Structure 1
Amino acid sequence: MKKRIAVLAPIMIATSIFTNGLSAQGPIDGFFSTKGKASISLSYLSGNYDEFYVGGQEVSPVPAHNEIDQTIYSIYATYAITDNITVIGSLPYIKKEGNGSADPINGTTEQSDFQDISAFLKWAPYIKELANGTMTYIVALGGSIPLNYEPSGILSLGSGAPGLDGKLGLQYKSNTGFFAMIIGGYGLRGKSDNNFNIGTGDKFDAPDVVNAVLKIGYTGKNFYLDAFLDSQTSLNGVDIMGPGFAGNFPETIVNYSKLGGNLYIPITNFIGASIGGGTIIDGRNIGKNTYYNGGITLNL
């Protein structure tokens, strides 16, 4: 019942004002390749927003910058250690540019650099064969390490805090190719450097998060298609302009609900192409971003 299909996931999509809550639908699903198979995906993403949530209130335009454009180039790789264990790695390069005044924290109108390098181990401990399909149980554990970018300010590329994430999920796939997946997780976040001595302390405490993804779609010989709802809730932190906020952006609550979808088409057995997009439909301390992405996947 195993069918291998390489799917380009829009990994680490930057959607927040200051990119403190970097997330995406995520690198985890219920599809597994056969032992020894590998893939490398290269993707391009373009996003833009001029509205954002200060706390839970939607306002426009973005303070100081008015409007923010962002571009992300990502490399995403997978390797099947066994038929039901896959290792996943990703690295994004992010560019953010404001169309107004300079960032009030670090004095810039543009930031660009590599963001967080991340890796996950995905495991299917049990695959149940059903009369009309299969049910795959999913367990995943992974983490991220921030690289040398500036974490403070509206245009920062990330929170600058290391992360450790665990996920559990289920995916049903029918014999005709239709599938549905639900997966939830908990993310521990570490400390970020207070480079500009904002507020108190030499480190910021980035909020821990819980997240969930619901996905439905179709996978077959000629194409893969999905639609997803992705959500995140911070378990602590402060609101922008709320009590305890003193420009300490890495400590800010970042909640969101995001809708999107992806289409992947294999061109040959070796290479395939993907397109997709998404939009923030609700949030807290996050840019109301709409993005579009495309990429190629090499199946090794």
Structure 2
Amino acid sequence: MCLRTTCFFLFLFFYCHGAKAQGPISGFMPRPGQLDAAYTYSQEQYDQFFNADGDLQNRRLTARSSNLFLEYGADAKTALVATASYLDHDQLNRGWQDASLWLKYRNERTEQPLGFHNLITAVGLSFPLSNYPTDNPAAIGRRAATFHGRLLWQYEARYGWFVHVQSGLDFQFSPVAQAAIPILVRGGIGTSRYYVDAWVEHYQSLNGNPDNGNLAAGTGSTWTRTGGTCYVPVTPFFGAFVGGAFILGGRNIGKATRWNVGGVFRLGAK
């Protein structure tokens, strides 16, 4: 199993609770007619919270989430992506949180002697799946509707390693208008036996925002975060992965540590 057939798993890590910056878009495209389906379980917790001024306050919260992901290769250059999350903070704050739908298009793939350059654009829309409460510190989200735009460049070496840079714009148009710019850099290596990566992201809100005290960070919060993923193929059609991440700093976000495990099924692969 080469890098191209394993690395689609890496972006599943980013589609975990709280990872609303870059969305579930990787630099790899599924084959036409191929469906990738994944389940991820995550736990995230913090004891301190960065307020609107970037100062740490003592707050404690533990969140668990189950995340569903689908990506379908429509043709050689186009893919459709869908996601959904179920979050559990406590008895009051639990339920289906948000879903997203994405259209992903490969603008260019340039072959060179030692590897490939990929240029991909994607647009998406995220929206709430239930009427969950938003007026307490343990709320699972903001019931926001947000447009996402992404542009990414990726270099894939024939020897298995890759580098990836991604940015774009998130525009929340409901319940209030807010905008933010995500920046993501990651690198990794994949072989027939394993895949590992490391990454760092910065998410910059373009709007001033009062202290929300809410773990479900996204548009309206600013943060810097780093983490990594490890994936192992079990069969040609199934693999398992583990990942972790932690917040380095920010505003309106908990100083959280997150761990996740999951499994991925591939259907229609040839």
Same topology, TM > 0.5: yes
Q: Deviations for 1:217-238, whole angstroms, at most 9, x for unmatched residues? A: 0122222211111221111132
Is the 2:70–2:82 contact (alpha carbons within 8 Å) kept by the matching residues of 1? yes
> Does 1:159 pair with 2:142?
yes
Is the 1:144–1:164 contact (alpha carbons within 8 Å) kept by the matching residues of 2? yes
For residues 184 and 250 of structure 1, what CA distance do their matches in structure 2 show?
A: 18
State the match for 2:25 in structure 1.
Answer: 28
**SS of structure 2 residue aligned to 1:30:** coil
How far off its partner does 1:24 sit? 5.2
Spell out structure 1 runs of 4+ moving beyond 3 A: 11-15, 249-253
- Normalised to the residue count of structure 1, the TM-score between the two structures is 0.81
Distance 1:31 1:251, change over 3 A: closer
Q: Deviations for 1:230-279, whole angstroms, at most 9, x for unmatched residues? A: 221111132329xxx9x9x9998300011001111110011100000100
**SS of structure 1 residue aligned to 2:207:** coil
State the match for 2:257 in structure 1.
Answer: 290
State the match for 2:37 in structure 1.
Answer: 40
> Does 1:76 pair with 2:58?
no
Distance 1:250 1:123, change over 3 A: closer
> Does 1:85 pair with 2:52?
no
How far off its partner does 1:156 sit? 1.2
How far off its partner does 1:54 sit? 0.9
Q: Deviations for 1:116-136, whole angstroms, at most 9, x for unmatched residues? A: 110111111110001110000
For structure 1, list consecutive stretches of 5 or more residues without a partner in the other structure.
16-21, 98-108, 193-204
How far off its partner does 1:161 sit? 1.3
Between the two proteins, the alignment pairs up a number of residues equal to 262
State the match for 1:215 in structure 2.
Answer: 186
**SS of structure 1 residue aligned to 2:178:** coil
For structure 2, list consecutive stretches of 5 or more residues without a partner in the other structure.
none
Alignment partner of 1:140 out of 109, 122, 129:
122
Alignment partner of 2:98 out of 116, 119, 127:
116
Distance 1:25 1:275, change over 3 A: farther
For residues 84 and 219 of structure 2, what CA distance do their matches in structure 1 show?
A: 24
Is the 1:25–1:228 contact (alpha carbons within 8 Å) kept by the matching residues of 2? no
**SS of structure 2 residue aligned to 1:7:** helix
For residues 24 and 72 of structure 1, what CA distance do their matches in structure 2 show?
A: 17
> Does 1:187 pair with 2:170?
yes
How far off its partner does 1:173 sit? 0.7
Identity %: 26
For residues 146 and 196 of structure 2, what CA distance do their matches in structure 1 show?
A: 30
**SS of structure 2 residue aligned to 1:190:** strand
> Does 1:3 pair with 2:19?
no
- Normalised to the residue count of structure 2, the TM-score between the two structures is 0.90
For residues 210 and 137 of structure 1, what CA distance do their matches in structure 2 show?
A: 19
Q: Deviations for 1:71-98, whole angstroms, at most 9, x for unmatched residues? A: 010111111111221111110100114x
For residues 251 and 215 of structure 1, what CA distance do their matches in structure 2 show?
A: 20
For residues 250 and 221 of structure 1, what CA distance do their matches in structure 2 show?
A: 36
Distance 1:298 1:209, change over 3 A: same
Higher strand share goes to which structure?
A: 2
What's the RMSD between the two structures over aligned residues? 2.4
For residues 137 and 61 of structure 2, what CA distance do their matches in structure 1 show?
A: 10
How far off its partner does 1:56 sit? 3.2
State the match for 2:207 in structure 1.
Answer: 236
For residues 36 and 173 of structure 2, what CA distance do their matches in structure 1 show?
A: 30
Alignment partner of 2:243 out of 263, 276, 281:
276
How far off its partner does 1:110 sit? 4.1
Is the 1:30–1:171 contact (alpha carbons within 8 Å) kept by the matching residues of 2? yes
